[in-house]
Amino acid sequence: LEMIKCAACTHPILDRYMLQADGRLWHEDCLKVFVDFTYYLAHLLGFTLGPLSYLDVRK
């Protein structure tokens, strides 16, 4: 059985829930950091990003 790995940190996702965004699976904290950084970077570059949607997936 292959462990599901987080798209950001590549560590196995052992949580009860995992988040799916952009077709990839994430730890909740890793996705939050990624989204916060993405919006911050877009703001610095003068871009406006629309809302993102997330899908909770039960193991």
Segment 3-50, tens digit of pLDDT: 899 999 999 999 888 888 888 999 988 988 888 888 788 888 888 776
Domains of the chain: 1-52 (2.10.110)
Cα(49)–Cα(7) distance, integer angstroms: 21
Q: What is the pTM of this model?
A: 0.64
Q: Are 7 and 30 in contact (CB under 8 A)?
A: yes
Cα(27)–Cα(42) distance, integer angstroms: 22
Q: Which residue has the higher pLDDT, 48 or 53?
A: 48
